[in-house]
Structure 1
Amino acid sequence: MQQDLLITQLCQGNEKAFERIYELYSRSIYGIIFSIIRDEEVSEEILQDVFLKIWHEASSYDPEKGRFFTWILNITRNASIDKLRSKEFKNSQMNVKGEYFSDILESGNAVTGKIDAIGLQKYIDILGPMCKKLIDMLFFKGFTQKESAKELQIPLGTVKTRNRMCINKLRANVINQ
């Protein structure tokens, strides 16, 4: 079935067209969501929400304003970012141990081998445990500095200072190598 016809039928409320759109785009959309969220279960929930939104708002798609995939991509990105910023999601991520990042980097698993293979392990080894925790929380888990201070039970100013020192140490080591 030609894509333009499929999109037209979707906009007219055709369920078969919607099923075909799902078959064509769901894997790509899931990949985009997962790259933002990094949680399989939550990504699957968002995928369903995105396709419900596509179904309910299909008539608002305007080919004059852009490609269909771009329209879907914007819905996906917005839904993912909304979830990422939600209090519920942030709270669920705070429950993940702060040691997760350092445990992965320090364990002898395949991830460590891949990190070492591209030369990052020597830079990570230089960082102390607090730097690893801060970098994990602030850059990988999306905590704010205030949330990190609360989780680590240290003053906000200390988090800011340590973060700056850790990043500077990492930067200096990478540049000087």
Structure 2
Amino acid sequence: MSTQPKLSEQEIIALLLKRDEKGFNYLYDNYAGAIYGIITKVVHLKEYADEIIQDVFVKIWKNIGQFDAEKGRLYTWMINLARNTAIDYIRSRGYQNEQKNQTIPEFVNDSEQYATVTNVDHIGMKNVLSQLKGEWRELIELAYFKGYTQQEIAERLDIPIGTIKTRTRNALIELKRLLKDYR
């Protein structure tokens, strides 16, 4: 059990802005599991997720000055950064070429090797998401946990893109309200 004192979001941000490693270490110790979980929802393979999480924390360290508390919470900013980094990674030419070079038996026979166990719910996100309407929850899960674009969601659900955009916006507004109540 950690004896590390609990830091507020403002204290963490202040430490990171001062380039204090204490802030970075606290951030990693307390948020790496959740961020890793988001990454593995998009990437699925542990070896890639391990590489991406390093990239994400480097981006957080280098780009903390771009964080705007007026637009949202630090956790939300980090999760979006992780999700976008993972999506960029799987869309990269190198990743796509590597996937083409994989033989099918590797994935079929060794599926246990590639399995990842993720527990991102220690922050209670499933509980918060369960309060959303079913159609909104599905959109959030597809977009933020599975890495689908709005166009891909529209095609998958056979719903017009405009409807997807409207529902996603409404879902995010409601999620924001729920998260404010959750604090």
Cα distance per residue 1:110-152 (max 9 Å; x no partner): x9xxxxxxxxxxxxxxxxxxxxxxxxxxxxxxxxxxxxxxxxx
Q: Distance in 1 between matches of 2:62 and 2:13?
A: 13
Residue number in structure 1 paired with 2:96: 90
Instruction: Verify the 8 A CA contact 2:9 2:74 in the aligned structure 1.
Output: no
Q: Answer with 1 or 2: which has the greater Rg.
A: 1
What amino acid is aligned across from residue 48 of structure 1 in structure 2? Q
Shift in Å, 1:84? 0.3
Instruction: Verify the 8 A CA contact 2:90 2:96 in the aligned structure 1.
Output: yes
Q: Show the 5 A alignment for 1:17-56.
A: 17-56=23-62
Instruction: Verify the 8 A CA contact 1:10 1:58 in the aligned structure 2.
Output: yes
Residue 78 in structure 1 maps to residue 84 in structure 2: yes
Residue number in structure 2 paired with 1:62: 68
Q: Distance in 1 between matches of 2:47 and 2:108?
A: 24
Shift in Å, 1:102? 6.5
Instruction: Verify the 8 A CA contact 1:11 1:59 in the aligned structure 2.
Output: yes
Tell which has more relative contact order, 1 or 2 (C-alpha 8 A, sep 6+). Answer: 2
Q: Distance in 2 between matches of 1:39 and 1:104?
A: 12
Equivalent position SS for 2:19 = coil
Q: Which runs of 5+ in 1 are unaligned?
A: 106-110, 112-177
Equivalent position SS for 1:78 = helix
- The answer to which of 29-38 and 89-98 deviates more is 89-98
Shift in Å, 1:47? 0.3
What amino acid is aligned across from residue 70 of structure 1 in structure 2? T
- The answer to which of 2-11 and 51-60 deviates more is 2-11
Instruction: Quote the sequence identity (%).
Output: 38
Q: Distance in 1 between matches of 2:110 and 2:19?
A: 47
Q: Which runs of 5+ in 2 are unaligned?
A: 1-6, 116-183
Residue number in structure 2 paired with 1:142: none
Q: Distance in 2 between matches of 1:36 and 1:55?
A: 22
User: How many residue pairs get matched?
Assistant: 106
Q: Show the 5 A alignment for 1:128-147.
A: none
Equivalent position SS for 1:63 = coil
TM-score, with length taken from structure 1: 0.54
